Amino acid sequence: MALGTFSGLRNRETRIRETRQELEKITAANKEWQNRFNETNKASWKMWFDQNQITNKQNEEAARLLAEATAKRDEAARAHERDMAALAQAYRVINDQTEFENFVKRSEVTFGLTEQSAVNAQGRLEAWDDKKHARDTATQIDIMVQRIGLETEAAKDRIKFELNRKAEINTQAAITAHANEMQKVLLERVMDGKVIGADFTAAVGGTTDPTAQIAQYSAAITALGVSKDNPVLAKLAGLNNPAVMKSTFDTLQKYHTQIVESGQTGPAALETFMEGANEYLGNLQITPADLNKPDQVIKQMETILGKPLDSLTKSIIKSMPQSGNAIAVTEPTLVEPLDVSKLGEWKEVITENAVARARSEKTALSKAKTSALEMSKNGNAEQQATASALLDWIGKRDLKVSEALDSVKNKDYYGVVSLYGNSVIEEAKASQPKLESAILPDYMREAKDAAPIVVPNTKMLRMLIEYGIIKKGDMVTYTRPDGKTVTGPYKGE
């Protein structure tokens, strides 16, 4: 029994020991798990904390950026409002010429009216510098925009556009002022009996702006003596073609040089020039600019490309300036006066030619009379009536020619010059242009303007021309089939 009790106790202690050991294992395992859990939980909390800090910083940055953007938007809106008010005031000033001029003065700029002297210190003409003018104007506009106090680029661009548009008008005025100064210098040279000068050609050649070139050529042409109000000169300037103005100036300058070199001075030289220049300008064949050309170019390009052009390309093509042209039919030529020592010789030539013409017509009248008599005998009724009228005319004309030739025997040439003065003097001028300005004797001057040859109708006129009675240059009066009477020189047609 005691053995059994001992055995039972030992088994109990064994179970207790085993149980205790099992509990120790469980406690150690729980402790290990708890330690791992605590470490994991600590890392998780740290990661959450770090992430939370990042998120908070991001939120703070986003809030800051939003606040800044809001502030900027508010400031931009306020700047826009301030610019709108400044623009309204600027537009009012720009549209009021007096206020605008005051604003320009306050800005201490000339705004497109930058003076470019047409004459340098050595007295030589200077070219209009378009690039310098553009640079100066751009600088002045920047100063004016700064004075207005605009803040946004959009507002600055808007007012710059308006100021540039305004500056274009002043640019034209500046070009005109430069050309006018040049014209004064050139006029002084012309009045002193000098030529225009090579420095003018160099100045215009150094100008790249077509408008300035046209203005300068116009100034030189008017300095030579052509009136500023000459309508042809205005038309030429309106062609927008500097080459036409240059050609016109070159021609007139050449003519003016001929006059200067001939020794003519004062009012006589000016009158000579104006007469030749006006005739030259009046005979110019002017072709205005073709305003439909841009549309034709657009259509041609669209045909080649096979598709429509965009609006920007079309606007560029249409904005290109169109120019016209002019062709000179004749050029003015200076006819120098005939040497006085030669005038007597030409009087003799003229009178001798008139006498020769009278004798030649006597022969022609005789042949015409024979032909008319034959027609009156053998012709029909209408031909006989024509022959009768022709014989009557021949008889009267033959009497005048015979009387003129009889007067020649007594050195009286008035009769032959009265009959043939127009044609023989024109023939003499054709062979010697200097006779154009020669002083004719009184009897020649009066006789050459005597009454023309009067012929009743065109039918008889043709017959007299065929007979050689009426020749080229003869002044004739005749009645057309419509009953209108015409007087003019027979031109040999």
Q: Which long-range contacts (CB under 8 A, 24 or more apart) does 260-263 make?
A: 260/193, 260/194, 260/195, 262/334, 262/336
Q: Token digits for 88? A: 């309204």
Longest dimension (CA), the chain: 213
Pick the closest to residue 432 from 338, 367, 341 (CA basis): 338
Tell me the CA distances in angstroms from 479 to 25, 126, 131, 476, one per residue in order: 156, 63, 67, 10
- Asked if 327 contacts 285 with a C-beta cutoff of 8 angstroms, the reply is yes
Cβ burial of 308 (10 Å; 0-12, 13-18, 19+) is: exposed
Q: Is the pLDDT reported for residue 324 higher than 60?
A: no
Last residue of a domain, one of 13, 38, 67: 67
Give me the count of residues in the chain.
Answer: 493
Confidence check: pLDDT of 326 > 60: no
**Whole-number average pLDDT of the chain:** 75
In contact, 121 and 132? CB cutoff 8 Å:
no
3-class secondary structure, 328: coil
AA identity, residue 219: A
Cβ atoms of residues 479 and 456 within 8 Å: yes
Q: Quick one: average pLDDT of 383-411?
A: 88
pLDDT of 64 > 50? The answer is: yes
Q: How far apart are CA 4 and CA 336, in angstroms?
A: 177
C-alpha distances in Å from residue 72, one per residue of 84, 199, 227:
18, 60, 65
pLDDT of 240: 80
Q: What is the DSSP letter of 119?
A: B
Compute the 3-state secondary structure of the chain and give helix, strand, coil in percent, each to the nearest 5.
Answer: 70, 5, 25
The alpha-helical segments, DSSP class H, found in 96-152 are: 97-106, 130-148
Q: Is 202 inside a domain boundary?
A: no
pLDDT band at 452, cuts 50/70/90? confident
Q: Is the pLDDT of residue 334 over 50?
A: no
Q: Of 67, 89, 115, which residue constitutes the final position of a domain? A: 67
* Higher per-residue pLDDT: 427 or 279: 279
Report d(CA 74, CA 85) in Å as an integer. Answer: 17
Cβ atoms 247, 288 nearer than 8 A: no
Query: Given phi > 0 = left and psi -120 to 50 = alpha, else beta, which region is 331?
Result: beta
Question: Is the confidence at residue 442, as pLDDT, over 60?
Answer: no
pLDDT in tens, 126-162: 878 878 888 888 887 888 777 777 777 877 788 778 7
Do the domain assignments include residue 166? no
Mean pLDDT for 96-122 is: 70
269 vs 459: which has the higher pLDDT: 459
Instruction: Tell me whether residue 453 is in a domain.
Output: yes
Query: Would 15 be classed as within a structural domain?
Result: yes
Last residue of a domain, one of 16, 35, 67: 67
The per-residue pLDDT for 335 is 46
Which amino acid is residue 277, in one-letter code?
A: A
Question: Does the structure show a pLDDT above 50 at 338?
Answer: no
Total domains present in the chain: 2
Mean pLDDT of 455-469: 90
Q: Which two tokens stand for residue 294?
A: 């841009």
- pTM value surpassing 0.85: no
pLDDT digits 0-9 by tens, 432-441? 555 555 555 5
Say whether pLDDT at 427 is over 70: no
Is residue 415 in a domain? Answer: yes
Residue 285, both tokens: 């064949």
pLDDT at site 231: 85
For residue 409, the model assigns a pLDDT of 84
Strand (E) or helix (H) holding 38: helix 2-95
Is position 438 within any domain? yes
Taking each helix axis from N to C terminus, what angle separates 414-431 and 381-408, rounded to the nearest 10 degrees? 90
Confidence of residue 236 (pLDDT cuts 50, 70, 90): confident
Q: Residue 489 has what pLDDT?
A: 81
What residues make up the domain containing 38? 2-67
DSSP for 251-320, please give it. Answer: HHHHHHHHHHHTT--HHHHHHHHHHHHHHHHHT-EEE---TTHHHHHHHHHHHHHTSPPPHHHHHHHHHS
pLDDT above 80: residue 337: no
Q: 257 falls in which pLDDT band (50, 70, 90)?
A: confident
Looking at residue 280, what is its pLDDT? 80
pLDDT score at 276: 79
**Better-predicted residue by pLDDT, 81 or 488:** 488
User: Phi-psi bin for 440: left (phi > 0), alpha (psi -120 to 50), beta?
Assistant: beta
In a domain? residue 242 = no
Spell out the residues 6+ positions from residue 311 whose beta carbon is closer than 8 angstroms to its own. none
Model confidence band, residue 392 (pLDDT cutoffs 50, 70, 90)? very high
Q: What percent of the chain has pLDDT over 90?
A: 3
Closest CA relative to residue 150, chosen from 247, 85, 201, 208? 85
The reply to whether 411 falls in a domain is yes
Give which of 166, 131, 116 is closest to 145, Cα–Cα.
166
Residue carrying structure tokens 């900027």: 72
Rounded CA gap, 305 and 197, in Å? 51
Paired tokens of 264: 């003519």
Residue with tokens 């809001």: 70
469 or 152, higher pLDDT:
469
CA pair distance 426, 138, nearest whole angstrom: 64
pLDDT, position 405 = 87
Q: Give yes or no for residue 343 having a pLDDT over 60.
A: no
Task: Using the structure block, give the residue that is written with the tokens 């798990």.
Answer: 33
pLDDT of 293 over the 70 cut = no
